[in-house]
Amino acid sequence: MARGEDLARSVEDVLVLLRSKGGRVTTARRQLLSALFDAPSHVTADDLAAAVQARAPDVHISTIYRNLDELERLGVVVHTHLGHGPATYHLSSASHGHLVCESCGATIEAPPAVFEQLAKEAIERFGFRIDPRHFAVLGRCADCASAGSAGRR
């Protein structure tokens, strides 16, 4: 069976997937999906709730969280921890890993290939399968690293 990430190219595609799994199409779900597809990048549940509530004020944040959990279970969205802030969400069809600068907070979206060797080594050495979409690798971006080097001269 195809995962949600293979099907989630539009709001309507996701609604078809939901219906096929016995889910109901509600105003809240439709509005949440529209907000996710309209989002420029990573968004928090609070960001999504604000976008949904601007269109449908009666939708409670608990409804947003329940629907995000369901969409993640179906493979439509991925939640990611980008450092110390709240979890962020994005469509799984735009899957990538994350590099976050501890100095300036810049987030770099890295293609999955960047993490292939790490994933391979984790499975070979430890029998551990990583999901690089779920976490961020913290460090220093090129600008902050060079600024730090310049300051030490």
Domain positions in the chain are 4-92, 96-151
SS3 82: coil
Place of tokens 């329940």: 66
b/e map of 37-64 (b: 16 or more CB within 10 Å)?
eebeebbebebbbebbbeeeeebeeebb
Please tell me the predicted confidence (pLDDT) of residue 77.
87
Helix or strand (DSSP H, E) at 43: strand 43-44
What fold is seen in the domain 4-92?
Arc Repressor Mutant, subunit A (1.10.10)
Confidence band, pLDDT 50/70/90 cuts, at residue 109: confident
Q: Do domains 4-92 and 96-151 have the same CATH topology?
A: no
SS3 109: strand
**Across all residues in the chain, what is the average pLDDT?**
85
CATH homologous superfamily, domain 96-151: Ferric-uptake regulator, C-terminal dimerisarion domain (3.30.1490.190)
Helix-strand-coil percent breakdown of the chain, rounded to 5? 50, 15, 35
Cβ neighbour number for residue 97 with a 10 Å cutoff: 23
pLDDT digits (tens, 9 = 90+) for 121-153: 999 999 999 887 777 888 999 999 988 765 443
Highest mean pLDDT out of 7-11, 31-35, 86-90, 148-152: 31-35
